[in-house]
Amino acid sequence: MFEKLKNEIEKCRDCEEKFGFEPHPIFWGKQNSKIVQISQAPSNNVHHSLKPFTDMSGKTLKYEWYQITDEEFYNQDNFYIGALAHCYPGKDKKGNDRNPPKCCFTKWVEQELKMIDNQLYIIIGAKAAKTFFPEKDYEELIFRNQTWNHKMAIVLPHPSPLNKKWLKDHPDFMNKRIIEVRKIIKEIIKD
């Protein structure tokens, strides 16, 4: 059932007309991955590499925040790396990444999340946080462990270079919170 879903996602071209280019659905993980990490959408770099977080955000996330190796991060027994949408959505008229199409989340991602037997959710960025916790304050989400689907959930700000001001304005994130998060991640992946 899970493999069938994965194959259907990888073949999906529903948004090709909307995007104006051929979508490349990114799928990374197993049904029993220990950690499910969900962000907004793949970047343009990821659209070309077909591997999640192969960009500046990925370097910050893996090496600075989590302090783990590529081998640990890309080990699908450890991480199921998803997003609100499987494909890079392209740029809007202002040159910013478009919002991920909601149809991808309702058609694919909700099904995936029901099938995965994970221990921890990591939700990255304000848009993803709003999807999973629509009624909660973003900063409160980041600085306290949450629960989603009866499991621990951690919310992180996006590791994008564009997010430097938020990080500067919230020094406790790097001085305290990410150290707690890093410890939780390392405990889970060492098993």
Structure tokens at 169: 């304005």
Rounded to an integer, what distance in angstroms lies between the CA atom of residue 168 and that of residue 136? 22
Residue 107 CB partners (closer than 8 Å, separation 6+): 14
Residue 97: what pLDDT? 86
Domain boundaries, the chain: 2-190
In the chain the beta strands, taken as DSSP E runs, fall at 35-39, 79-83, 120-124, 146-148, 151-156
Sign of CA dihedral 72, 78, 83, 89: positive
Confidence band for 4, pLDDT divided at 50, 70 and 90 = very high
Instruction: Give the confidence band of 95 by pLDDT, cuts at 50, 70, 90.
Output: confident
Is it the case that residue 105 has pLDDT exceeding 90? Answer: yes
12 CB contacts (<8 Å, ≥6 apart)? Answer: 23, 25, 86, 87, 104, 108
Q: Residues with Cβ < 8 Å from 38, sequence gap 6 or more?
A: 82, 83, 84, 109, 121, 122, 123, 124, 128, 132
pLDDT band at 96 (very low <50, low <70, confident <90, very high): confident
Answer whether CATH 3.40.470.10 is correct for domain 2-190: yes
- Residue 65 in contact with residue 159, Cβ under 8 Å? yes
User: Tell me: the pLDDT tens digits for 134-168?
Assistant: 999 999 999 999 999 999 999 999 999 889 999 99
89 falls in which pLDDT band (50, 70, 90)? very high
- At 161, give phi and psi (nearest 5°): -60, -20
The length of the chain, given as a count of residues: 191
pLDDT value at position 131?
A: 97
Average pLDDT, the chain: 95
- pLDDT in the model for residue 162: 87
Distance CA 122, CA 52 (A): 15
The fraction of the chain above a pLDDT of 70, given in percent, is 99
